[in-house]
Amino acid sequence: MFRIFVTVAALYLGVSLAHADPRSPRTLLVDACGQLRDNALSIWSEEKSVSIRERRDEGIVYCFVVDPGQKVKSTFEVASSRKGDFNDPGREALRVACDQMKKNASDVFGGRKVYFTEDPDIKVVYCLVQKPDNAGLAEVDISDPRFVYTVELLFMSYYGEPLSEGV
């Protein structure tokens, strides 16, 4: 009887640890929406609420923005259990989330441009939005050194093990 109890407890613990993997798409998506919530005051001039919802049965993470008038706007809705031929499902889920924010830019970000970029050497992805006061500027390329001054951070996330120092 004790062995059955230990076996069942180990199975539940294994499932819990699988959901807690810091590189899993689900964890990365929830963290990305949390960062969006943390950065809300610098992204929008008016007060906004950012909400995270999840449907575990469907494996979908939702991130919503609510303005003071209670109008709900979807920033992203990504399946955290993405299947496919991707080398890194965490990176792919973050890219899909940022791509959805690009498509929703007119509704959520007032037409400001959304950018996805990454540093593959340290396996970090960035999702950025153009600053409101730079919306009228000519297009600034990601490789332009001025780019960093024209954008606000939506989220930044490690999608893999960063390289250790000295490597």
Alpha carbon distance 48, 36 (integer Å): 11
> Which pLDDT does position 101 carry in this prediction?
92
- Across 61-95, b (16+ Cβ under 10 Å) vs e yields bbbbbeeeeeeeeebbbbbbeeeeeeeebbbbbbb
Give 3-13 pLDDT, tens digit per residue: 443 333 344 43
Question: Which has the closest alpha carbon to 54: 80, 83, 36?
Answer: 80
Give 52-85 pLDDT, tens digit per residue: 998 888 888 999 988 877 788 888 888 876 555 4
Residue 49 — very low, low, confident or very high, per pLDDT cuts 50/70/90?
A: confident
pTM: 0.75
Alpha carbon distance 124, 3 (integer Å): 43
> Which pLDDT does position 106 carry in this prediction?
85
> Which pLDDT does position 12 carry in this prediction?
41
Contact 82/93 with Cβ under 8 angstroms? yes
Give 96-147 pLDDT, tens digit per residue: 999 999 998 888 888 888 999 988 888 889 999 988 876 556 666 777 777 7
Give the residue-averaged pLDDT of 145-158: 84
Domain boundaries, the chain: 24-158
> Which pLDDT does position 69 carry in this prediction?
76
| 28 Cβ contact list (under 8 Å, min separation 6) | 90, 93, 94, 157, 159
> Which pLDDT does position 31 carry in this prediction?
92
